[in-house]
Structure 1
């Protein structure tokens, strides 16, 4: 599926859980629950939790653009 990415995802490898909530159209609390249950892919870096963009897009049925592709 070829779609235009929201500007906040363009060129980024990870986003915050709050940004992922906006992309998914759910509340921040629901997004953190999804991270805790493993429904939303995430990485913990120190005390911070980030959501990798490529797996998030695949979760939505969107094939992420290749890195460096124009």
Structure 2
């Protein structure tokens, strides 16, 4: 059985997930480098977009034979 994760995470949760300091995560969020969604005054990181961007950025480049 897979564990269900919330669709949104706080910036400190995202920092822990990424292994960053809290301040760095806020800096990346403010710079638009984390996929965020604002609800009222609160800012959340969209988990699916974050994991997707990590997967796309970590994909090894394959050279044509």
Determine if the TM-score, normalized by the shorter chain, exceeds 0.5. Answer: yes
Q: Give the unaligned 5+ runs of structure 2.
A: 57-65
Q: Distance in 1 between matches of 2:46 and 2:26?
A: 14
Q: Give the unaligned 5+ runs of structure 1.
A: 63-70
Q: Distance in 2 between matches of 1:60 and 1:36?
A: 18
Runs of 4+ in 1 over 3 A off after TM superposition: none
The answer as to 2:9 corresponding to 1:15 is yes
Q: Deviations over 1:13-70 (max 9, x none)?
A: 10000000001100000000000111111011111000111001012117xxxxxxxx
Greater helix share, structure number: 2
The structure with the larger Rg is 2
The answer as to 2:31 corresponding to 1:57 is no
Q: 1:34 aligns with which of 23, 28, 32?
A: 28
What RMSD, in angstroms, separates the aligned Cα atoms of the two structures?
1.8
Q: Distance in 2 between matches of 1:49 and 1:34?
A: 12
